[in-house]
Amino acid sequence: MEKGSEDENVIRRRFLRRHPKSKLYASFEDFQFYKIGLTGGFLNGGFGKSYNILREELLIRSPLTSDLATNELYYLSKVASLDPQLANLLANAYSHVKSYNWELSGIDASGIDLAQGEHLVRIELDEAAQDVKGLIAAYKNLLMEIREN
């Protein structure tokens, strides 16, 4: 991926939000992001639990994908506006780390990333959002579920 290109800048911003301690070495001249073209995958889940994974099963299929990547901070702020404690509520409901000071660090059509220091949590939606209305509704639903329990 060409340094300084729009694609590289989008990926760099997302990477640094998720891994803020990487800021130092991400600025080194020999640090590079690569785009990998997937043909499939293989998961070894332990004894007798290995699976071939098709390319289509690894990709997020949504018309929102490109817009979410380019305007990720905007969409994070839209989701965060649902509740000032959203990151903490999600992290405490869906992770083994029960604490506060969580931040929303990334979002895509299939889920949201949370960070707190060295701890990273990924919360997957049941299905990829196909539009902004569906994206916001998915997080409203998660909030309702958390509040009910």
Q: 148: domain CATH number?
A: 3.20.180.10
* Same domain, residue pair 129 and 112: yes
Domain range for residue 81? 61-149
| Predicted model pTM | 0.81
CA distance 22 to 12: 10
Task: Note whether 130 and 149 are same-domain residues.
Answer: yes
Asked if 88 contacts 107 with a C-beta cutoff of 8 angstroms, the reply is: no
- HSE of 10 in the Cβ direction (CA atoms, 13 Å)? 15
Show the low-confidence residues of the chain (pLDDT under 50).
none
Domain count, the chain: 2
Q: Are residues 118 and 78 in the same domain?
A: yes
Q: Is residue 24 domain-shared with residue 82, that is, in the same domain?
A: no
Q: What is the pLDDT of residue 27?
A: 86
pLDDT value of residue 144: 94
